[in-house]
Amino acid sequence: MSFFIKLIETTDSERRALENLPKVHAMINHGLTLEEYQTFLHDMYHIVWNFCPIMASAASRCSDDFRQVRYRLYESIESEKGHEAWVFDDLLAVGGDAEKAKATLPSLPVQSMIAFNYNAVERVHPCSVIGMLYTLEVVSSVYGGRVATAISRAIGIPGPRGFTFLDSHASMDLDHMAKLTELVKTIEAPAAQQAIINATRVNFWLFGQVFSQPVFNQPATARAA
């Protein structure tokens, strides 16, 4: 069995648990309210803002045994840099307070998700970053386009205005997934494989926690100066 197949099989229960959450199911099929979408974009801004720094941290810790991971991360950083500006512009386009999104913390699950990924690449194994990549690219490529269409209809704002990030990543991440698949197949070290599996399971679970309550929770605590 290839490691990629093992990764799919050992993390599929977490992916399905995310998909089956009532709020996620409703979002995919019926969209969100305008306020919920604004809050969702607030959370996404912070995930995307930290995406490249987490990859950079992992790349800096990859030994030559994992040079193929390091090189793939360099490509991903170049491809993903600046995408938080897309989320920022989408938030503005749907009437959200983008400056407040910058100045306030995201939801507790997103804070936990960001912290977990920094810790995983710095203290567990740099290949843990692949678990983050796999989770977010699966979510984007499988659900991004459907979610954008459903939300657009629900709030009465036709795309692409306000949906640049979701629409673009629905197509971009199909290509990213193909490249990630090939990368994962090259990883044979048991410690790296275990770190990737664990990071994937945790990222699916933490992302699901964003939708685990009837309404989104968004702390309004300002960032420290």
Q: Which residues contact 111 (CB under 8 A, 6 or more apart)?
A: 46, 105
* Cα 173 from chain centroid (whole Å): 11
Q: Which two tokens stand for residue 78?
A: 């170049």
Q: Kindly report the number of other CB atoms within 10 A of residue 163's CB atom.
A: 25
Residue 184 has pLDDT above 80, yes or no: yes
Average pLDDT of the chain to the nearest whole number: 89
Q: What is the pLDDT of residue 217?
A: 55
Q: What is the pLDDT of residue 158?
A: 83
Q: What is the pLDDT of residue 167?
A: 83
| CA distances (Å), origin 99, targets 3, 29, 37, 65, 102 | 42, 30, 16, 42, 5
Instruction: Assign 214 a pLDDT band (cuts: 50, 70, 90).
Output: low
pLDDT digits (tens, 9 = 90+) for 48-84: 999 999 999 999 999 999 999 999 999 999 988 999 9
Provide the percentage of residues in the chain whose pLDDT is more than 90. Answer: 68
Residue 215 has pLDDT above 60, yes or no: no
Q: What is the pLDDT of residue 212?
A: 83
Domains in the chain: ranges and CATH: 3-209 (1.20.910.10)
**Mapping DSSP to helix (H, G, I), strand (E, B) and coil, where does residue 104 land?**
strand
Q: Which two tokens stand for residue 76?
A: 């991903």
Residue 221 has pLDDT above 60, yes or no: no
